[in-house]
Every structure is written in C-alpha cells, then in structure tokens.
Amino acid sequence: MNTASFALARALPPIVGFALFIAAAIAVEGLLRLGVINRFIVPLPSEVAASFGRLFAEEHLLARFLTTCRECLYAMALLTILGIGAGAVLHRMPLLRRACETPIAALASAPIVLMYPLFLVVFGRSATTIVVMGLIAGLPPVILKTIEGLSGTRRVLINVGRSFNLTPRQMFVKVMFPAAVPTIFVGLRLGLIFALINIVGVEFLINFGGLGQLINDLAERYDLAGMYAAISFVVLVSVLFFVITERIERWFSQAA
C-alpha cells in the first residue's frame, strides 16, 4: 500500500461517517417537511444548523461547552486516580474485594442523579456538586474493570515475571498493569459516559454550569432548534473525551 492509498484508507471511515450523518439529517428534514414527523416535537435540522451562530453569539455556547468540558476533565482525572487506585487496592485484598464487589456493582445501576438535593446541601449550588456527582456515578465501572483487568492477567505472563525475579512493585508496573490496560480503559470509557450523563443532568436540574443549564434555559423558552443544537454539543463533549481516552490508552500501552 503506497502513502496516498494509506492516507485515503485512514480518511475514508470519518468521511463516510460524516456523509451518513448528512444523509440522515436530509432524510429527517424531508420527513418533517412532508409532515410525517411532528415539527412541534422535532425541529428542522436546517433550523438547528442555523441556530449555532445565535447560540455562540447570544448564549455563550463556547463558554458553556468549555465549562462542561472542564467539569468532565476534573471528573475524569478523579475517576482515573480514585477508580484505578481503589480497584488495585481491592485486587490486592481478596476479602475486602469479595465484601465490596456486589455493593459497587449495585451502585452502578442506582439512580444517583436523584440524590442531588443531598449533594446540594453538602457542596452547595456549585461545580463541586456537579463534579462529585459525576465522579460517584462513574466510579463503579472503573473500579470493577480495574479488578477484572488485574485478575485477568494471564498466568504465563506472571510466571515470566516471576522467572525474572520481579519485585511485587515491578510485577504490578511492568506486567499486571500493562496487561490490564485495555480492560481498565473499557471501564474508564464506561465511567466517563456515566459521569457525563450525570454532569449534564445535574447541570440541568440545579440550573448551574455549562451545557445542561443552557439546555434547561432553551427548553423553558421552547427554543427547540437551540436546544437540539446544545444537545449536539453534549455529544461533541462525549466524542472529545472518547478520543482523548483512546489516545491515552495507546500512549500508556506503548510506554509500559
């Protein structure tokens, strides 16, 4: 494969993805104009696209986007440190692990977002409440996947480490952790999804912060086109963090 065809092979999937997105938008536009879908529920994609300029100028969309990104970044950093740390500790302590694994798994399916009044009392109507709620929602998958990844290290790789007389620290850093990285990153991505849902949800509920608050404001004004445009920026946050975690995973795998 020469350089040009290699570059084309790399660029083709996003081009096809974008083309499919445009085709879907055109299809929805057509169905709305034909009256198949109710225009009072779903705005015209062309109106959504046209509203971006207004949102940037009047609603400070970029600042809101960056606020949500910042909250996600804090939550992600805390998820990485606390989630992987807790998972590693639980992996080392089998009794504690057996005692905690089920409650942690149960926490993953609990509707934590409904506990926002409690967090408002503790942290006030602030970004801290939003980040902490995102963090708590995202922790279970990170902890559980870290345990799963470390426990799933193939016996033969541990034996290779033992045959080279690795210390417990070397065994963790050079063998077990790198072997667990793909599974841990599955947990981090899941955790980030849960965190983002909760961050935007709490912003919406307490009418504070970034995109969630903006969506709330626009919904109350019945600005459907603006609301859908703001929601598309929530998707953009998700895509952005997905790409970041993918890059970090690749870097981690190569650095180990």
Partner 1 sequence: MHSRPTAGLQGEHILAVEGLTKRFLTRDGALLAVERVSFGVKPGEFLSVIGPSGCGKSTLFNVIGGLTGGYEGSVTVAGETVNGPHPAIGMIFQEESTFPWRTVLENVCFPLELVNMPKAQRHEKARHFISLVGLDGFEQRYPAELSGGMRQRVAMARTLVSEPRILLMDEPFAALDEQTRLLLGDKVLQIQQQLKQTTLLITHNITEAVQLSDRILVMTYRPGRVKRIVDIKLPRPRTSEIVGSAEFGLAVAAVWNDLREEASRGMRESENAARAERKT
Which residues make up the interface to partner 1 (CB under 8 A)?
Answer: 154, 156-157, 159-160, 162-166, 170, 174-175, 178-179, 181, 253-254, 256
CB of 162 to partner 1, least distance (A): 5
CB of 68 or CB of 153, closer to partner 1: 153
Min. distance of Cβ 133 from partner 1 in angstroms?
A: 34
- Segment 89-98 long-range contacts (CB within 8 Å, at least 24 positions apart): 90/143, 90/147, 91/146, 91/147, 91/150, 91/151, 97/147
Tell the smallest beta-carbon distance from residue 185 to partner 1 (Å). 12
What the block records as the tokens of 36 is: 């198949």
Burial class (CB within 10 angstroms; exposed 0-12, middle 13-18, buried 19+) of 139: buried
Q: How far from the centroid of its chain's Cα atoms is residue 160's Cα? A: 35
Nearer to partner 1, 34 or 156 (CB): 156
For residue 84, the minimal CB distance to partner 1 (Å) is 17
Alpha-carbon gap, residue 41 to 215, rounded angstroms: 15
Contacts for 2 with CB less than 8 Å, ≥ 6 apart: none
Q: Cα(190)–Cα(17) distance, rounded to whole angstroms?
A: 23
Measure Cα distances from 225 to 47, 55, 169, 217 in Å. 6, 10, 55, 13
Break the chain down into helix, strand, coil percent, rounded to 5.
Answer: 85, 0, 15
Shortest CB 173 distance to partner 1, Å: 11
Residue number, 82 or 178, with CB nearest to partner 1: 178
Tell me which amino acid residue 244 is.
I
Minimum CB separation from partner 1 for residue 181, in Å? 7
- CA 188 – CA 141 distance, rounded (Å): 7
Decide whether 45 or 149 has the Cβ nearer to partner 1: 149
State which residue, 167 or 232, has the beta carbon closest to partner 1. 167
For partner 1, the closer of residues 60 and 174 by Cβ is 174
In the bound state with partner 1, the residue whose beta carbon lies nearer, of 108 and 166, is: 166
* Minimal distance, residue 65 CB to partner 1, in Å: 34
Nearest to 133 by CA among 61, 59, 66, 208: 208
Distance, in Å, from the CA atom of 243 to the CA atom of 182, rounded to the nearest integer, reads 15
